[in-house]
């Protein structure tokens, strides 16, 4: 749990936040790092055709990767849960708190504000809505946040030796005690095989953070250079795929010679690596990179850096975020927990709370519809991939970077 004492003790170790930056993550002027960036070779790849509607990846169970269990009926009143349910165990058992794994260095999704000593961000507000549905108006006082890195998310939500919870896997006991992980956690088929996920609560996309005015436009410009991403993330997999090219190195997707991919524990570590010249760029989700660029005036997000690499396979760039849930091992109980969380998320999207939270943390990125507005069948069916809704498309009109956080160009 992040207490005030723990916050004070760890202040020096953290990276970027939405408040004042530690010394090692303050903006620094861009300078040649590994090689002369301006001399980077042009990307030889032909641009692929415009991305069309995409139904998303289908997992081994025959269901789309975004598919989840729909809520059944209205949500139960706070505290009035079926005996034996996970919600009742959280409400009555253990310490009476909702334990949430969250990132603390990824503004504006989740970061520590060192002025107020509070964790804040979009993911934090999602957790608060779930806590309120569990405990009532005082729910925000009954949350315990546990800082997690990208590589720890799956390990901790599957390590379930908390005495308050029936153990589902004695081989991985670590007493993490987490009920949820809400940490820019992309839903994939591989992860769904082991982890319970809610429906999609946010649609992000894979992008590249680059130094301004350095001659970079796409990932193909980084031949012989170094790009950083976070350990155990989908971004690392996509970077390695881009470096290797398509199977058999087809002409449309040749490999990128000499592209080095380095993995670091936290997103803020990659920002510092770029600032210090240990990496030439950073690659991860667009909203995470926008938060980095907003902290450093010498960096910007390249909106189409991977379009020529993945071309018509637009779903490869998608990063659909889901809430990861503790698994009891009882399928009926787990399904009930998923439906409850999806009910909270759906109510948020129907009531306008999702829009208010989005505007608070991501509003400078321009209008964006909720997953439910994009897909009225949410969470049972999959949304239309990377195709923007009419509302999102309208926000693309005008100067490409006007008013956008971190200088994100285009849509």
The pLDDT tens digits of the residues spanning 137-190 come to 999 999 999 999 887 888 888 865 444 444 444 333 345 789 999 999 999 999
Please give the mean pLDDT across all residues of the chain. 76
Q: What pLDDT band is residue 336 in, cutting at 50, 70 and 90?
A: very high
Looking at the predicted structure, is the pLDDT value of residue 289 above 50? yes
The pLDDT tens digits of the residues spanning 232-245 come to 888 888 888 887 76
105-106 sheet: strands from edge to edge: 105-106, 110-113, 118-120
pTM > 0.85: no
Sorted by sequence, the CB contacts under 8 Å of residue 351 that are 6+ apart come out as none
Does residue 151 sit in helix, strand or coil? coil
Sorted by sequence, the CB contacts under 8 Å of residue 131 that are 6+ apart come out as 98, 139, 140, 142, 143
Work out whether the CA dihedral 231, 202, 330, 180 comes out positive or negative: positive
Could you give the CA distance from residue 18 to residue 111 in angstroms, rounded to a whole number? 6
φ and ψ at residue 290, rounded to 5 degrees: -60, -40
Average pLDDT over residues 302-315: 68
Q: What pLDDT band is residue 311 in, cutting at 50, 70 and 90?
A: low
Q: What pLDDT band is residue 110 in, cutting at 50, 70 and 90?
A: very high
In the block, which residue shows the tokens 């069916």?
381
The pLDDT tens digits of the residues spanning 338-390 come to 999 999 999 999 999 999 999 999 988 888 899 999 999 999 865 444 334 43
Looking at the predicted structure, is the pLDDT value of residue 255 above 90? no
Sorted by sequence, the CB contacts under 8 Å of residue 159 that are 6+ apart come out as 169, 172, 173, 174, 175, 176
The pLDDT tens digits of the residues spanning 86-101 come to 999 999 876 789 999 9
How many other β-carbons are positioned within 10 Å of the β-carbon of residue 117?
14
Q: What is the pLDDT of residue 115?
A: 92
Is-contact 289 209, C-beta < 8 A? yes
Q: What is the pLDDT of residue 315?
A: 62
Could you give the CA distance from residue 84 to residue 146 in angstroms, rounded to a whole number? 25
Is-contact 293 407, C-beta < 8 A? yes
Q: From start to end of 212-332, where are the E strands? A: 226-230, 260-264, 281-285, 299-302, 318-325
Q: What is the pLDDT of residue 206?
A: 86
Q: What pLDDT band is residue 403 in, cutting at 50, 70 and 90?
A: very low
**312: closest CA among 252, 360, 261?**
252
Q: What is the pLDDT of residue 218?
A: 84
Sorted by sequence, the CB contacts under 8 Å of residue 237 that are 6+ apart come out as none
Sorted by sequence, the CB contacts under 8 Å of residue 299 that are 6+ apart come out as 30, 209, 210, 211, 212, 274, 292, 293, 406
Q: What is the pLDDT of residue 253?
A: 60
Q: What is the pLDDT of residue 34?
A: 35
Could you give the CA distance from residue 349 to residue 191 in angstroms, rounded to a whole number? 25
φ and ψ at residue 180, rounded to 5 degrees: -145, 155
Average pLDDT over residues 199-216: 92
For residue 226 the two structure tokens come to 């170094």
Work out whether the CA dihedral 295, 299, 301, 305 comes out positive or negative: negative
Looking at the predicted structure, is the pLDDT value of residue 13 above 70? no
Q: What is the pLDDT of residue 175?
A: 56
């Amino acid at each position: 749990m992040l207490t005030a004492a723990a916050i004070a003790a760890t202040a020096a170790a953290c990276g970027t936040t939405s408040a004042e930056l530690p010394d090692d993550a303050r903006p620094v002027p861009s300078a040649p790092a590994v090689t002369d960036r301006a001399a980077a070779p042009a990307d030889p790849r032909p641009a692929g055709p415009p991305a069309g509607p995409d139904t998303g990846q289908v997992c081994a169970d025959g269901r789309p990767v975004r598919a989840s269990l729909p809520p059944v009926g209205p949500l139960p009143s706070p505290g009035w849960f079926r005996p034996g349910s996970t919600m009742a165990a959280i409400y009555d058992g253990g310490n009476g708190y909702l334990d949430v794994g969250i990132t603390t260095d990824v503004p504006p999704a989740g970061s520590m504000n060192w002025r107020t000593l509070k964790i804040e961000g979009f993911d934090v507000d999602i957790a608060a809505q779930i806590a309120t549905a569990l405990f009532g108006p005082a729910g925000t006082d009954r949350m315990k946040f546990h800082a997690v890195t990208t590589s720890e998310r799956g390990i901790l939500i599957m390590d379930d030796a908390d005495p308050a919870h029936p153990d589902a896997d004695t081989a991985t006991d670590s007493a993490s005690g987490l009920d949820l992980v809400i940490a820019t956690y992309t839903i994939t088929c591989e992860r769904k095989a082991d982890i319970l996920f809610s429906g999609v609560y946010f649609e992000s996309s894979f992008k590249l953070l680059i130094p301004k005015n350095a001659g970079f436009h796409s990932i193909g410009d980084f031949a012989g250079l170094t790009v950083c991403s976070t350990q155990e993330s989908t971004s690392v997999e996509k970077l390695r795929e881009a470096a290797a090219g398509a199977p058999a190195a087809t002409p449309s997707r040749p490999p990128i010679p000499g592209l080095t991919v380095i993995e670091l524990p936290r997103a803020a570590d990659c920002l510092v690596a770029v600032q210090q010249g240990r990496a030439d760029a950073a690659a991860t989700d667009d909203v995470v990179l926008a938060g980095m660029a907003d902290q450093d005036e010498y960096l910007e997000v390249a909106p189409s850096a991977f379009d020529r690499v993945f071309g018509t396979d637009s779903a490869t760039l998608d990063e659909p975020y889901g809430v990861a849930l503790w698994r009891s091992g009882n399928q009926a109980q787990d399904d009930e927990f998923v439906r409850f969380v999806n009910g909270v998320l759906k109510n948020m999207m129907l009531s306008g709370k999702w829009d208010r939270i989005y505007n608070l943390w991501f509003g400078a990125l321009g209008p964006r519809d909720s997953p439910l507005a994009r897909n009225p069948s949410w969470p049972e069916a999959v949304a239309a991939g990377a195709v923007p809704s009419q509302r999102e498309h309208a926000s693309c009109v005008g100067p490409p970077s006007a008013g956008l956080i971190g200088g994100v160009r285009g849509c």
